[in-house]
Amino acid sequence: MPVQPLLLEADRKAKQNKGEIGMKELRTRGLPNAKQTVDNGVNLAAASEAILDGESLHFTWRANCEWVNGVYVRSTVDGYTETDESSVRNEKFAVAADYPEMLAGEDKAPTPIELVLSALASCLTGGVAIAAQYRDIQLRYIETMVEGRSDLHRSLAKEPDLRSGNSTIEVSFVIDADATVDELKDLAAEAQKRSVVLELLANPNDVVVEVK
């Protein structure tokens, strides 16, 4: 399932209702410090402290999915540190999934495919924010659009012989920030390098299945 290179939509037409993209001079940027003036809501201090303290940044993410009815399901998700199996959050979150009526569902929740695309968009958008904070770039607006085309014959047919899945996933950004167009492209490129979801889709891991 190839993932096309990300396209940065930074033209004025795309931003005419949100204001022109700000421009500024290039300047040297490094790790966050007391002189940093931008605020994109990213808590880099906590991450930097964990790295300096030598804490493990390896985690195990789990989703426990229970069938509700038809193709409507509900999952509980959580993350754990690999060192002591402690949870990374104070409470668990629930995620529901379903299909439209024309696809054998009741249309009560997003489809699993939409949740995957949303995960990719979320991971890339967060990556832009992290990169901007490290580079001391003030953000005003980010919109990440992800589109995938699916063949569901295998999922819905009586005999699942055909291959199903997405042939291509396309991603585009609209970013409004105090940065040049080249700097915005650098943010998009760095977001791709930071995205664990993009890595999972572009270079899939082995999936081991067992029935208990």
Top-confidence residue, 41 or 82 = 41
How does residue 188 score in pLDDT terms, banded at 50, 70 and 90?
Answer: very high
- Check residues 13 and 108 and name the one with the higher pLDDT: 108
Backbone φ and ψ for 70, nearest 5 degrees, come out as: 60, -125
Specify whether the CB–CB gap between 127 and 42 falls below 8 A: no
Contact between 181 and 161 under an 8 Å Cβ cutoff? The reply is no
Sign of CA dihedral 177, 180, 188, 174: positive
Nearest to 72 by CA among 89, 47, 97, 51: 97
Here the contacts of 68-73 (C-beta below 8 Å, separation 24 or greater) are 68/96, 69/106, 70/98, 70/104, 70/105, 70/106, 71/98, 71/99, 71/103, 71/104, 71/105, 72/96, 72/97, 72/98, 72/105, 72/106, 72/108, 72/109, 73/97, 73/98
Q: How many helices (H) and strands (E) does the chain have?
A: 5, 6
Q: What is the pLDDT of residues 93-122, one digit of tens each?
A: 999 999 999 999 999 999 999 999 999 999
Instruction: Assign 53 a pLDDT band (cuts: 50, 70, 90).
Output: low
Q: Which two tokens stand for residue 2?
A: 């190839």
Q: List pLDDT tens digits, range 191-209.
A: 999 999 999 999 878 999 9
**DSSP secondary structure letter of residue 66:** E
- % of the chain at pLDDT higher than 90: 53
What is the average pLDDT across 149-168? Answer: 69
